[in-house]
Amino acid sequence: MSRLNFLNARARTWRAEAAKKKAKAAHEAKVLKGASAFARRRLTAADVWVQDHHAGVGFTVLVLLCTAVGLLLRFRMDQAIELARQFAPVCTIISIAITAVFSSIKWVRKRRKARLASTEVARS
């Protein structure tokens, strides 16, 4: 094989590898775009579901929160009380958490009303 043919073959190989890399990058970009669209659709669906089931979600969150606090106090009460003495009263922490849950429920209900009102206007 002459040196010219060797260089020509090497150039073709490099071009082929570059084309493969470009195709792979395009495919990865397409997959990433599809994944982000999929995630956006799933998050929107989850948001709508939470808006439609806000009472059950709020109740479940409160039950889980109370269960977690109960288990914490049952098994690590001394440590929890020591930490509470260092940072803040336990009642304050719990009331802040419960207020956050109720505020979240209020916010979700407000968004649900707005969503339903906009769909009613669109149907008219």
DSSP 22-35: HHHHHHHHHHHHHH
What average pLDDT does the chain have? 83
Give the DSSP letter of residue 6. Answer: H
Residue with token string 């059950």? 56
- Mean pLDDT over residues 86-113, rounded? 86
Q: What are phi and psi of 2, to 5 degrees?
A: -75, 165
Which one has a higher pLDDT value, 102 or 87?
A: 102
The per-residue pLDDT for 36 is 83
Name the strand (E) or helix (H) holding 96. helix 90-123
- In this predicted structure, the answer to whether residue 111 has a pLDDT above a threshold of 80 is yes
The residues, any chain, with a CB within 8 Å of residue 109's CB and separated by 6 or more, are 51, 54
pTM of this structure = 0.46
- Mean pLDDT over residues 68-92, rounded? 83
Residue with token string 């020509």? 8
The residues, any chain, with a CB within 8 Å of residue 111's CB and separated by 6 or more, are 47, 51
Which one has a higher pLDDT value, 114 or 89?
A: 114
- In this predicted structure, the answer to whether residue 4 has a pLDDT above a threshold of 60 is no
Say which range, 20-29, 47-56, 92-101, has the weakest mean pLDDT: 20-29
- Mean pLDDT over residues 35-56, rounded? 88
Does residue 88 sit in helix, strand or coil?
Answer: coil
